[in-house]
């Protein structure tokens, strides 16, 4: 080992010496210097103990570490074009639905505007980009809509005018963003990273009847029955009287025939002005029996019945005598007993009702013709106080 070390140093010195000899254009002085240096090195080596040199060489020399080279894989190139741009240049981020959230209910054929918000998260500005219908239900959307220029990092709202389908159901339309050249832009946060959609439900309109608030009706108290009133109409003696067939006029209301066998007709008058205007006549009770008397047998004249007829005579005179067989009697008495009784007469109800609002109601009383029995005896009914008891409301 010691011999090898010594030989190594000798070789180094020899190499140095030979190199010095072969250097071009070295001056003589320089050659002498190199020779001297070589001799000096040799003397040093001769004087150095072998053990020390060997120790120093052994401790300072480290064998070189062998290098390991790892082969670099080569890139593989294909001719297949990518449908979605994956570079950092063109990329979009879906932010939110600005209008028409998913599941919004629409009526058939309803027009609406859908709006989405996006952000350009690529390193390149957008120019020549477009919003394109992709698949599903287009809802009347155009095939492509131009998108305005957008700088990197900026946001934009993309909107489309749409129309709900006419049929009831659930509908979804998908859309995408294309860069210039038709390359689809990746959508971070979108559907499968490539598109986005509008989702609606179409339902028939629900007809809500208008809210009807019942009006406050305050019930009225039960209607009180009309006030019932009664008035007694008595004959006006100043207007009463009789007229004979011979033209004689008298203020007494007598009816029958005279001893000279002339016919006598009685006339009586009642003041109806006491009835209020608009009075509704309910009933009329006739009472001709108060204070009357008879001469002879008046019930033997004609058919034995005394009858009352309506006649407005005004001031009584001979012209008010009725000649002939009258018709249209309002009521009649056929005997003393009937004349003495008071009775409700339906015929008189309508007569008095017709007199409401007027001043007078006048009647003519007579026996039917022939109104004399030819017995040369006065057969008469001499009337006293006559009453019409009228009930009205």
Q: Classify residue 203 as exposed, middle or buried by CB count within 10 Å of its CB (0-12, 13-18, 19+).
A: middle
- Say if residue 102's pLDDT is above 50: yes
Tokens standing for residue 202? 């179409």
Q: How far apart are CA 117 and CA 93, in angstroms?
A: 9
Lowest mean pLDDT among 175-189, 220-234, 299-313: 220-234
Average pLDDT over residues 74-103: 71
Query: 195 vs 44, which has greater pLDDT?
Result: 195
Entry pTM: 0.45
Q: How far apart are CA 148 and CA 130, in angstroms?
A: 8
Average pLDDT over residues 93-118: 97
DSSP string, 16-85: HHHHHHHSTT--HHHHHHHHHHHHHHHHHHHHS-HHHHHHHHHHH--PPPPP-PPPPPPPP---PPPSEE
Average pLDDT over residues 138-156: 96
Highest mean pLDDT (candidates 28-32, 59-63, 98-102): 98-102
- The confidence score (pLDDT) of residue 206 equals 75
- The confidence score (pLDDT) of residue 214 equals 67
CA end-to-end distance (rounded Å), the chain:
164
User: What domains does the chain contain, in order, with CATH numbers?
Assistant: 84-202 (2.60.40.10), 229-392 (2.60.120)
Predicted confidence band of residue 213 (pLDDT cuts 50, 70, 90): low
- The confidence score (pLDDT) of residue 53 equals 38
Average pLDDT over residues 290-305: 91
Average pLDDT of the residues of the chain: 82
Query: 37 vs 326, which has greater pLDDT?
Result: 326
Q: How far apart are CA 367 and CA 306, in angstroms?
A: 5
- Say if residue 153's pLDDT is above 80: yes
The H-or-E segment that residue 10 falls in is helix 2-22
- The confidence score (pLDDT) of residue 50 equals 39
Predicted confidence band of residue 224 (pLDDT cuts 50, 70, 90): low
Condensed to tens digits (0 to 9), the pLDDT of residues 260-269 reads 999 999 999 9
- The confidence score (pLDDT) of residue 97 equals 97
Average pLDDT over residues 12-22: 46
Condensed to tens digits (0 to 9), the pLDDT of residues 315-372 reads 999 999 999 889 999 999 999 999 999 999 988 999 999 999 999 999 999 998 767 8
Percent of the chain whose predicted confidence (pLDDT) is above 90: 65
């Amino acid at each position: 080992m010691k011999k090898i070390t010594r030989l190594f140093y000798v070789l180094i010195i020899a190499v140095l010496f030979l190199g010095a000899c072969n250097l071009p254009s070295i001056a003589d002085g320089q050659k002498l210097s190199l020779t001297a240096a070589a001799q000096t090195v040799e003397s040093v080596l001769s004087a150095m103990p072998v053990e020390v040199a060997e120790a120093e060489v052994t401790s300072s020399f480290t064998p070189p570490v062998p290098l390991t080279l790892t082969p670099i894989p080569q890139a593989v190139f294909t001719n297949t074009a990518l449908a979605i741009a994956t570079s950092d240049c063109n990329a979009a981020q879906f932010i939110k639905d600005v209008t028409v959230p998913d599941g919004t209910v629409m009526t058939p054929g309803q027009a609406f505007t859908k709006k989405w918000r996006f952000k350009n998260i690529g390193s390149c500005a957008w120019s020549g980009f477009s919003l394109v219908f992709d698949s599903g239900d287009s809802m009347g959307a155009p095939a492509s809509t131009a998108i305005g220029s957008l700088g990197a990092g900026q946001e934009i709202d993309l909107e489309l005018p749409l129309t709900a389908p006419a049929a009831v159901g659930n509908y979804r339309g998908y859309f995408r963003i294309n860069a210039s050249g038709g390359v689809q832009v990746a959508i971070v946060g979108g559907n499968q990273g490539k598109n986005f959609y509008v989702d609606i439900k179409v339902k028939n309109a629900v007809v809500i009847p208008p809210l009807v608030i019942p009006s406050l009706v305050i019930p009225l108290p039960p209607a009180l029955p009309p006030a019932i009133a009664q008035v007694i109409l008595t004959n006006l003696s100043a207007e009463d009287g009789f007229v004979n067939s011979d033209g004689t006029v008298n203020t007494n209301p007598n009816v029958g025939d005279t001893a000279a066998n002339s016919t006598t007709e009685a006339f009586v008058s009642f003041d109806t002005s006491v009835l209020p205007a608009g009075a509704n006549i309910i009933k009329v009770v006739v009472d001709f029996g108060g204070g009357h008397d008879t001469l002879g047998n008046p019930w033997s004249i004609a058919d034995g019945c005394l009858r009352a007829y309506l006649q407005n005579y005004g001031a009584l005179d001979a012209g008010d005598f009725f000649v002939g067989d009258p018709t249209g009697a309002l009521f009649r008495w056929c005997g003393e007993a009937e004349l003495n009784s008071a009775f409700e007469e339906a015929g008189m109800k309508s007569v008095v009702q017709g007199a409401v609002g007027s001043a007078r109601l006048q009647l003519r009383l007579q026996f039917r013709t022939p109104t004399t029995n030819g017995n040369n005896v006065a057969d008469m009914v001499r009337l006293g106080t006559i009453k019409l008891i009228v009930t009205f409301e």
